[in-house]
Structure 1
Amino acid sequence: GIRRLNENWRPFMLKESIASQQTLAAMFTALNVFYKFAILEEKTFANFVPVVKKNSPYLVVQSQIKIPDTLSDIQWEYVFGVTRDKCEQVPDLERNLFTLACLKGLYLRISELSERPQWSPVMSHFWQDNDGFWFLRIMGKGNKLRDVTLSEDFVTYLKRYRLYRGLPALPRVDEAEPLVHKIRGQGGMTVRQIRRLVQQSFDLAKQSLLDDGFTDDAEQLESATAHWLRHTGATHDAQTRPLKHLSEDLGHAKIATTDQIYIQTNIKERAKSGLKRKI
């Protein structure tokens, strides 16, 4: 080979690395746990991490209002509607349609639909009680099981998806078919594969939005992720469903978490009380 000098090579250039607030918070948490363990093992006599954290000039205490990332009404209408309309031309998009219905209509995380070592979502996880109400058993964060309620509208799309797969309209208690199937291969789908299905529907919707002149909505859709569908469904239903019911379907350990993210009661009351302030 020929020896050539690379003028852009800077092996000894110092690059300043600035940790994000999330990284700093994680570091303090890890150190706090470490020192608590060290105290139990009698390797140290005190834990100074809380004091250092409180007086740290680098850690910013978060107190701003956080709004969950959601799709607008028109964006969701296009994402779901365009996928549904194209199912006539491309039947395999029925899988996309069902995935969208699960993520938005059941407030699922994308991981809860995917195949995992300790949990494989199958059709028998849909079940019906004696009163005729349908539920879906899900394993969420921390390997916690919960039963999510199914709406009448969702059951309609469940039947549609199962008929497309050549299955009976409603699931049986002993059915081992994967919830979201692979076109090729056996078993359920991974997180990455399901994310691709969602992105495919996002791309179809984006093009249709551009064709219809909704440029801003199309550009905003570029930054959307599959998790936005969970937030979209919960934010929409928070206006009509009891907070406790919504919290249980979302899988939140505390009802205050649901209120803080989707209802924001304290924030709205604070805004109303300050609305008539005089200058």
Structure 2
Amino acid sequence: MNDRALPLISERGAVVGGDVTPAPGSPNRLESPILPPGLTDEAIVGRWLKAKATGRGRLAATTLAQYRIEAERLFWYAHQVDVPISEWTLDEFSEYMEFLQAPEPWAIRRPGVRRGSPEWRPFLGPLSERSAGQTQKIVASLFEWLRDVGYLRANPATGLPTVGRREPEKQARFLSVDDCALLRDAIVSRPDTTREARLLKARDLFLVDLFALTGARTMEAMRGWMRHIRIERLPDALRQAHPEAPEFQWLLRIEHGKGNKARWIPCDEIALSLQAYRIAFGLPPVPAPDETRPLVLSVRRSKWGTWKGIKSRTTIWNVVTGLCGEASEYARQIGQVDDAKRLAHASTHWLRHTYAKGLAQAVSNGLDTRAALENMGHADARTFNQYVDDEPLKRALATSLARRAVL
């Protein structure tokens, strides 16, 4: 294997060391009409990472970090096999996919080896099928971009089946309506003899509703502002088409969702807990259109006397998992042992799945699937299908009865 210096991808997408210039006349290599001449493969990929980090559709920081990791793995492997990526064929790409799932011992980093050491490796072991599939998706998109900018004639990843691609299993990590009621009961049962306790009770009840009744992600809640909640009057045309509908609808704006995509979520169901939460903090019950307070408030004030927001995704996750642990203990005390076990494992994402399960039921009752996908922030219906109940017992009974009739 090749021992030359390995390329490292910086936070800004620049490549540090390890550049290899492709051999002249490589069958798949072209001179891009829109990139500077004479760039190495590593420098070109640095441009790709920079492009992914800029513009309206730029990747979120966590996603971009994964793209950098994949670029680093790709170049490390290319240096080991001594074939620049611009010379890769379908065979090299296929071999790379096989390597990811069963790397040789020399390719795995030993514990304690620091980044930048000659013995450093970008692998701690084989990738799972799911992780290898994600790697394939990112690297294939890189080769697609190289082709689009005129650097390659063809994408060497074209036509290969995606590693680990399968329909998502039915989602089991969610709370039932009764579980959520138990979670709220646990919060309500707290003593509230101090002002801080009353603030926490109101804030925590709102958090449960925010995740369970809007399906917001933890990062989306952290990035939310009070002004993102709007009350909109229904247009006359909609009122005429639906005379039974309320005059106003509450909406929650997600400005920076997954993939930096924005969306609106209906949020009538959180209106009461939101208003109680705001009143407890001494605020008007309805947010102002230009209000700059964070959506998730701390019970602490800044040195200027204004309420602080919780601006850490981990902190919000810890708060909600703590609430679920509190509810688990509450359930155990009142003799609901099975509920206690389930609540002990719940988190913000469990509550998001709870909302998705409710949407799946709404779809069966007539809600347009596209509306459900938009509410969840999903781009692919297959992702949403994991929330649609298969009802195996009902199907088993129907099968059994039908076969008895035949036999």
Which residue of structure 2 aligns with residue 201 of structure 1? Answer: 323
Residue 17, structure 1, aligned to residue 154, structure 2: no
Q: Secondary structure of 2:253's partner?
A: strand
Matched, 1:34 2:138: no
Other-structure match for 2:227: 124
What letter corresponds to residue 127 of structure 1 in structure 2? R
Matches within 5 A, 1:78-93: 78-86=182-190, 88-89=192-193, 90-91=197-198, 92-93=200-201
Partner of 1:118: none
Deviations along 1:66-99, one digit per CA (max 9) or x if unpaired, are: 2252113443222122112326352123211111
Provide the rounded CA distance (Å) in 2 between the counterparts of 1:171 and 1:205.
30
Q: In the alignment, what sits opposite 1:251?
A: 377
Q: Is 2:168–2:383's contact at 8 Å kept on the other side of the alignment?
A: no
SS in 2 for 1:243: coil
Hey, what's the Cα distance between the residues in 2 that align with 1:45 and 1:268? Answer: 53
SS, match of residue 137 in structure 1:
strand
Using the alignment, how far apart are the partners of 2:324 and 2:366 within structure 1?
30
Q: Which amino acid aligns with 2:351?
A: L
In structure 1, the partner of 2:296 is: 180
Structure-2-length-normalised TM-score: 0.55
Query: 1:133–1:213: structure 2 CA closer, same or farther, 3 Å change rule?
Result: same
In structure 1, the residue matched to 2:88 is: none
> What is the one-letter code of the residue matched to 2:263?
R
Aligned residues of 2:230 and 2:289 also touching (Cα < 8 A): yes
2: CA distance, partners of 1:211 / 1:269: 33
Match of 2:157 in 1: 49
User: How far apart, in 1, do the equivalents of 2:167 and 2:267 lie?
Assistant: 35
Tell whether the 8 Å contact from 1:136 to 1:148 is kept in structure 2 after alignment. yes
Instruction: Verify the 8 A CA contact 1:247 1:258 in the aligned structure 2.
Output: no
Q: How far is the alpha carbon of 1:107 from its aligned partner? A: 1.4
Q: Conserved in 1, the CA contact under 8 Å of 2:206 and 2:274?
A: yes
In the other structure, the counterpart of 2:314 is 192
Following superposition of structure 1 onto structure 2, how do residues 1-279 of structure 1 map, counting pairs within 5 Å? Answer: 17-40=125-148, 44-50=152-158, 53-54=160-161, 59-63=163-167, 65-86=169-190, 88-89=192-193, 90-91=197-198, 92-115=200-223, 121-130=224-233, 131-139=247-255, 140-151=257-268, 153-184=269-300, 185=302, 186-240=308-362, 242-244=366-368, 245-253=371-379, 256-257=381-382, 260-263=385-388, 274=399, 276-277=402-403
**In structure 2, what residue type is equivalent to 1:69?**
R
Distance in 2 between residues matched to 1:187 and 1:220, nearest whole Å: 30
Kindly indicate whether structure 1 or structure 2 has the higher relative contact order, using CA contacts under 8 Å at least 6 residues apart.
1
Give me the whole-angstrom Cα distance separating, in 2, the residues matched to 1:102 and 1:242: 24
Distance in 1, matches of 2:403 and 2:182, equals: 41
Describe the shift of the 1:114–1:35 C-alpha distance in structure 2 as closer, same or farther (beyond 3 A): same
- Work out the CA distance in 2 between the residues paired with 1:41 and 1:248: 32
Kindly state the Cα deviation for residue 206 of structure 1 after the two structures are TM-superposed: 0.9
Among all aligned residue pairs of Structure 1 and Structure 2, give the percentage whose two residues are the same amino acid.
Answer: 26
User: Which segments of 5 or more consecutive residues in structure 2 lack a partner in the other structure?
Assistant: 1-110, 114-122, 234-246, 303-307
Higher mean displacement: 263-272 or 28-37: 263-272
| Structure 2 CA distance for partners of 1:211 and 1:273, relative to 1, 3 Å | closer
Deviations 1:162-191 (A, max 9, x none): 110001122222322221112234344321
Q: Is the 8 A contact 1:182 1:189 kept in 2?
A: no
Measure how far apart 1:47 and its partner are.
3.4
CA displacement at 1:144 relative to structure 2: 2.1
Question: CA–CA distance in 1 between the matches of 2:138 and 2:189?
Answer: 50
Which amino acid is the alignment partner of residue 251 of structure 1? G
| Structure 2 counterpart of 1:5 | none
Q: Is the 2:360–2:387 contact (alpha carbons within 8 Å) kept by the matching residues of 1?
A: yes
SS in 2 for 1:133: strand
CA offsets 1:122-150 (integer angstroms, 9 cap, x no match) = 22222112232221211222222222112
The answer to whether the 8 Å contact 2:167/2:382 transfers is no
